Structure 1
């Protein structure tokens, strides 16, 4: 059974959005109070299946997938560095960047770092938007081997 004294490693899944900001804040406060370590994971989705991305009607030059992947990777590193700079003096944290399906990579990193808890934010979509976009948080919660704390972020109307 998981109890606060058994939570030593917290995995926080992050993306560069306000949804993650709330999850990070919750995670840092929880980690500080429990003396736990944090691992931040950011997952870059694989862009598109074509090796080129351009609109010939707009006279755009094509960008190769490896170039796009490199740009995504650099943006991920910069994003995680900003979080480290902001919270690194408060708690012990490490970062991981992965490429693939977000829910699969989050679960894999949770296993690798032996997470006692996973924290992630949710967009709070419902209905058709939820059906189309799917729910990473819901999938992670169903398949995780440890407790999952989902920080809701209902969209403002």
Structure 2
């Protein structure tokens, strides 16, 4: 079941390249929770690079960015290091987080490319899916965070 606008973002705790991430511990900040299919693939790499380029603007707008894929923690660490990602990349190897958010692909092998924008109170205010380019997720999420979308 997919999470919709207006719903409370399901809490989760999972390992990332930066240690354990618990969504509810980010209350009081806006959160951009973006799911991507696979580290080191062209689209996912461009998406990560764009979120990294815009990260200081997210921070200026009281927002945190968290990426999630079904890759292992060691893969997430290599992916983050290679592209200097300043935010956590969650390893969802058990596919629990992707299942919680209803973003597993039809085969159940990886997450779809879907971005959730969550407000300071933990409510989902936007769901971005089916954008033409992977890197558009970062730009659109930032517009929403800034209140321009």
User: Which TM-score applies when normalising by structure 1?
Assistant: 0.40
Larger Rg: 1
Which is richer in helix? 1
User: Which TM-score applies when normalising by structure 2?
Assistant: 0.41
